[in-house]
Amino acid sequence: MPYYDFECLDCKNITTIKLSVKDIENGVKVKCNQCNSYNTQRYFQPIAVNTSVHNQKEYIGCGEHCRCFSDN
Ligand SMILES: [Zn+2]
């Protein structure tokens, strides 16, 4: 079963829960795992832009003894 994220409207906590598609179709109420409120709604994570480019930059230089960028 897929995982779904629900945002608590009371405390803004994100609860990730495993639900069936049928549960989603039935509009199942998900309990916040922080404040136990049922005042939750589906949360769609924003798609990060340019994440791959950012990660590439972070990978320059694999470590102190890395020879990737040696002069030879
Ligand atoms: Zn909550």
Token code pair at residue 19: 């639900």
**CATH number for the domain whose boundaries are 3-58:** 2.20.28.10
Q: What is the Å distance from ligand 1's center to 7 Cα?
A: 8
45: nearest Cα among 1, 11, 2, 7: 7
Q: Which chain residues have CB less than 5 Å from ligand 1, an ion? A: 8, 10-11, 13, 32, 34-35, 37
Who wins on pLDDT, 54 or 9?
A: 9
Give me the sheet containing 40-42, strands edge to edge.
14-18, 3-8, 40-42
Q: What is the Å distance from ligand 1's center to 67 Cα?
A: 49
What are residue 63's DSSP bridge partners?
Answer: none
Q: What is the pTM of this model?
A: 0.60
Q: 4 pLDDT exceeds 80?
A: yes
CB 8 within 8 A of CB 39: yes
CB 32 within 8 A of CB 16: no
Q: What is the Å distance from ligand 1's center to 16 Cα?
A: 12
Model pLDDT, residue 35 = 98
Residues 17-53 have pLDDT tens digits of: 999 999 989 989 999 999 999 999 999 877 766 655 5
